[in-house]
Amino acid sequence: MHLSELATPALVVDAARFDANVAAMAAARPGPALRPHVKAFKSTALARRLDAAGHHTFCAATIRELEGMAAAGLGSDLLLANEVLDCRRLGALVGAGARVTVAVDSVATVEAAALGGVAEVLIDVNIGMPRCGCEAGDAGRLAELARSQGLDVRGVMGYEGHLVGNPDRSARADGLTAAQDLLRQAHEQVGGDVVSGGGTGTYDQNTAATEIQAGSYALMDTAYAAYGLPFTQALSVLGSVISEGTSRGRRYAVADVGLKSLSLDHGNPDVSESGDPPVGSEEPWGKVWFCSDEHLTFAPILPGGARVGARVRVWPAHVDPTVALHEAMWVVDGDEVVDRWAVDLRNW
């Protein structure tokens, strides 16, 4: 099969770029120093490639993701890096032989883990992002409560989400100083072998974590591409130009890649005619005007470009929610489709 035979919109992964991304991260964070976050790609087929690269521990954001990983035989050490109030499905995974750890940050979540049959927890600490996590000073108290209920406290976790989205490397480093101090303070109270945290944006700067929860690096998006990281954009949405016209003297084209196949929470995508994304300060091949439900309206930079029937590549600004909109990723080598990876970890 070739790209021209795919029905659009179609999620496409460049095999060479993907392999290079995986190799670069495996060299920087080998084996258990990386706990890949499956929320970024939601595919057990892709997870198997990371397992083959030496990463046998994984984290996830939803119970559904953990269930799918365990069913695929990838359940040797799974972390739900999120709080839940009903752990019975997680307990069922433990009963079936998977090793499951869950994040806790309150009395209610500790009790939920104990009642649901999950034996192992991490104390989730707020290290600056106003989302989940207890205050660093409360971590020891929660660890004592967890142990009193028969739970094994493996350590702590904390996510510097307020920093990983900053394209300024020096600003990320400055913010990490305070964030890591909080995580170390909590770990001194809690104990355990695990200090979990970080992401693609801070994978090489977070020195407090024993394991980094990165996932976007494997596929990448335009937001992370602006950081100068040693990973390249491997994921795009293949689209077809279905209409063209003029507005106020300016020519535009319309592709069949809209909000139902692309996430805009991190901004508009880039558009290119080839399988190569715009890099750095390069002028984009097409200027996106707006996205609607099924349509992407853009102005081709070059006169005569993007006629009806042409194929275009749309490069998303945020990988995670874009992948979740598709049933499969098509892996390509040039114009040849070499594999199909089911996006089998979607939903809840």
pLDDT for residue 98 is more than 70: yes
Fold of 30-213: TIM Barrel (3.20.20)
Fold of 3-10+231-342: Lyase, Ornithine Decarboxylase; Chain A, domain 1 (2.40.37)
Asked if 45 contacts 328 with a C-beta cutoff of 8 angstroms, the reply is no
In Å, how far are 165, 171, 186, 271 from 129, measured between CA atoms? 11, 15, 16, 32
Q: What is the pLDDT of residue 283?
A: 58
- Retrieve residue 13's tokens: 């992964």
pLDDT for residue 76 is more than 90: yes
**Residue 275's pLDDT band (cuts 50, 70, 90):** confident
Q: What is the pLDDT of residue 274?
A: 83
Bigger pLDDT: 337 or 301? 337
Instruction: Tell me the H-state helices in the chain.
Output: 15-28, 44-52, 63-71, 88-95, 107-116, 139-148, 161-164, 169-190, 222-225, 319-323
Mean pLDDT (the chain) is 95
The C-alpha atoms of residue 30 and residue 13 are separated, in whole angstroms, by 23
pLDDT for residue 62 is more than 70: yes
How much is the average pLDDT of 22-35?
Answer: 98
The C-alpha atoms of residue 10 and residue 138 are separated, in whole angstroms, by 47
Percentage of the chain beyond pLDDT 70 is 98
**Residue 249's pLDDT band (cuts 50, 70, 90):** confident
pLDDT for residue 80 is more than 80: yes
Question: At a CB cut-off of 8 Å and minimum separation 6, what does 69 contact?
Answer: 38, 44, 47, 58, 60, 75, 78, 345
pLDDT for residue 327 is more than 60: yes
Range of weakest confidence among 3-17, 81-95, 147-161, 294-308: 294-308
Structure confidence by residue, pLDDT tens digits, 107-146: 999 999 999 999 999 999 999 999 999 999 999 999 999 9
Structure confidence by residue, pLDDT tens digits, 175-214: 999 999 999 999 999 999 999 999 999 999 999 999 999 9
Range of weakest confidence among 41-50, 60-69, 165-174: 165-174
Q: What is the pLDDT of residue 305?
A: 75
Each domain of the chain, given as residue ranges in start order, spans: 3-10+231-342, 30-213
Instruction: Give the orientation angle of helix 15-28 with respect to helix 44-52, to 10 degrees.
Output: 50
The C-alpha atoms of residue 286 and residue 273 are separated, in whole angstroms, by 8
Bigger pLDDT: 281 or 183? 183
Q: What is the pLDDT of residue 301?
A: 77
pLDDT for residue 280 is more than 70: no
How much is the average pLDDT of 268-283?
Answer: 78
Q: What is the pLDDT of residue 183?
A: 97
Q: What is the pLDDT of residue 300?
A: 87
Is pTM beyond 0.85 here?
A: yes
Asked if 239 contacts 275 with a C-beta cutoff of 8 angstroms, the reply is no
Q: What is the pLDDT of residue 278?
A: 76
pLDDT for residue 289 is more than 60: yes
Asked if 150 contacts 118 with a C-beta cutoff of 8 angstroms, the reply is no
**Of 311, 309, 308, 264, which is closest to residue 289 (Cα–Cα)?**
264
How much is the average pLDDT of 315-326?
Answer: 97
